[in-house]
Structure 1
Amino acid sequence: MADQRAERGPEPAEPVAVLHRDGRHNLRRDRPGERQIHHADERTHRCVRTYTQRATLLIALRGLTDAQAGRRSTASELTLGGILKHLAQGERVWAQLISERRGETPDGMWDMGQYHLTADDTLADLRAAYAAATRAMDAAVGALPDLDVAVPLPPVPWDPEAAPETWTARRALLHMLRETAQHAGHADIIRECLDGANTTAQLGDAPDAG
């Protein structure tokens, strides 16, 4: 077995996640001979999984026109642009809830218009808004002492008499991870129905900017 490993050469280095306190992050692969870091903490692991789902989502928006971004291609009312607009709103809302922790309702949290494009929405603007919202979310999570921090939630409009819940920052981060992964799947189906492109075939391409 040792001889077989020697013939194949050294095993490739594992990706190393680097999460900065201001929310910036990057993934790198150590070069042979460098000291490798494999003990990233829980926050880094969960954030890296979120970054991966965000990147997967953005693959479905490559090469689109504004008209395609707003076009329905399935029985669902969802469009690729609408998904991106909704997720940008979600990242922004959760960034505010996590950073302020006052249980107040962020502007537009329950606005159903977040799923639909207006005549003034462009894909470039939507991508910029999403990038800004994810940076705000990353900074909010990066500034926490740990993921056990309590995050009070605002009252819900469908049951205003109910006592508002309190989540941990961990649960909020996992919620946004699930939301992004779910809509990345929606986006892949919508894009394939739109013009035949699919996420899997593009996974090895260069990552999207932002």
Structure 2
Amino acid sequence: MTSAETNSSPLDISATPAPADVDQERADLLQTLAAHRGFLRFTARGLTDEQAGQKSTVSALSVGGLIKHVTATESAWYRFMMGGPDLMMSEVGDWEDEHRMNPGEKIEDFLARYEEVGKRTDEFVRTADLDKIWPLPVAPWFEPGGTRSIRRVVLHLIAETSQHSGHADIIRESIDGQRTMG
């Protein structure tokens, strides 16, 4: 965590400054995504690797596994925004493995990778044509013949990050009582 993350509340969206070098829509999208990434990172603050991999609820999820998953998901959608379905599917991983923290894996490594992926996404969104539309890859979870604009992908990343941040918050509270909200 950076000193700014340590000293500011994860709930204070104003602690994530709006980028000054982009139009208002991009600033809103980037600031919102940054805030929700901050919420997710906050859930890992102070956890040991063992705690980050702990399954503390009836779910098979862990804080570390969620960060690993959100990183892989954002990376896949980044590839989609860059070049469409073929590029998105160019790196297909082990879906089950990307949801868990395996022995020997480090939460610090997951957070560093998450930061790298986020910076890469943010740089792309700063200049991308948000109206660019790509066809979705063929997959059971996508509607046949569906498409996504880059704008809609960014909105999906915000929703995905937010949803999994909530999951991580519940898991973290079950570990040691720390909560992001309240």
Q: Report the TM range for the smaller structure's normalisation.
A: 0.7 to 0.9
Q: Once the two structures are superposed, what CA deviation does each residue of 1:150-191 show, in whole Å capped at 9, x if it has no partner?
A: 1332211x379x744211111111111000000111111111
Query: Per the alignment, do residues 44 and 73 of structure 1 end up closer, same or farther by CA in structure 2, a change over 3 Å counting?
Result: same
**3-state SS in 1 of match to 2:60:** coil
TM-score by length of 1: 0.72
The 8 Å contact of residues 50 and 177 in structure 1, kept in 2 or not, is answered as: yes
1:61 Cα deviation from its structure 2 partner? 0.5
SS at match of 2:138: coil
- 5+ unaligned residues in a row in structure 1: which ranges? 1-13, 22-39, 202-210
TM-score (normalised: structure 2): 0.82
Does 1:136 pair with 2:137? no
The two structures, once aligned, show a CA RMSD in angstroms of 2.3
For these two proteins, the number of residue pairs brought into alignment is 167
Q: In structure 1, what is the equivalent of residue 59 of structure 2?
A: 76
Contact (CA 8 Å) 1:93, 1:109: kept in 2 or not? no
Structure number with higher helix proportion? 2
Question: Structure 2: which 5+ residue stretches go unaligned?
Answer: 1-13
1:56 corresponds in structure 2 to: 39
Q: Aligned pair in 2 of structure 1 residues 69, 41: CA closer, same or farther (>3 Å)? A: same
TM-fit CA distance, 1:49: 0.7
* Residues 69, 81 of structure 1: 8 Å contact kept: yes
Deviation at 1:64, TM superposition (A): 0.4
Q: Could you tell me how far apart the structure 1 residues matched to 2:141 and 2:165 are?
A: 29
Give distance in 2, aligned partners of 1:198 and 1:74. 15
Equivalent position SS for 2:148: strand
Corresponding position: 1:196 with 2:177: yes
Please say if residues 19 and 30 of structure 2, whose CA atoms lie closer than 8 Å, have aligned partners that are also in contact: no
2:155 aligned to which of 174, 182, 185: 174
Identity %: 32
Give the drift of 1:142.
Answer: 1.9
Letter in 2 for 1:123: I
Counterpart mapping for 1:105-124 below 5 A? 105-108=89-92, 111-124=95-108
Name the CA distance, whole Å, in 2 between partners of 1:79 and 1:159: 23
Structure (1/2) with the larger strand percentage: 1
1:77 and 1:178 mapped to 2: Cα distance?
21
- On the 8 A contact 1:88/1:130 being kept in 2, the answer is yes
Are the aligned partners of 1:81 and 1:123 in contact in 2 as well (CA < 8 Å)?
A: yes
The match for 1:37 is none
Task: Give the Cα–Cα distance (whole angstroms) in 1 for the partners of residues 90 and 105 of structure 2.
Answer: 21
Structure 1 stretches of at least 4 aligned residues deviating more than 6 Å after TM superposition: none
1:95 to 62, 75, 78: 78
| CA offsets 1:48-102 (integer angstroms, 9 cap, x no match) | 1111111111111100000000001111111000000000101111111101235
SS of the equivalent of 1:154 reads coil
SS state of the match for residue 19, structure 2?
strand
Which residue, 131, 134, 137 being the options, matches 1:148?
Answer: 131
Q: Counterparts in 2 of 1:25-64, with a 5 A limit? A: 40-64=23-47
